[in-house]
Amino acid sequence: MTIHDRIDDFMGISPAFNTDFLRKVNKLREQGNSSAHTIELNSDKEELENDAKDLEYTIKLLVKVSNSI
């Protein structure tokens, strides 16, 4: 059983914890894995700032859910 199978259990804690959110988490995970295996990063400042905002939001929501279970 995966988290996708139990998403309804988490939506009661935060409606923002939905399939769109899980897609964003997966995207961040894939980017992190890719960056970890790359010597050069081709990112501009604006892209990094946007990624930082997405990551901050993701972490806050995951902490909220974690603290509620």
- Angle among Cα 63, 64, 67 to the nearest 5 degrees reads 80
- The rounded distance, in Å, linking the Cα atoms of 62 and 16 is 10
The tens place of each residue's pLDDT in the chain, 69 residues long, gives 888 888 888 888 888 988 899 998 898 888 888 776 766 666 677 877 888 888 898 899 989 989 988
Q: What is the pLDDT of residue 41?
A: 63
Per-residue model confidence (pLDDT) at position 6:
87
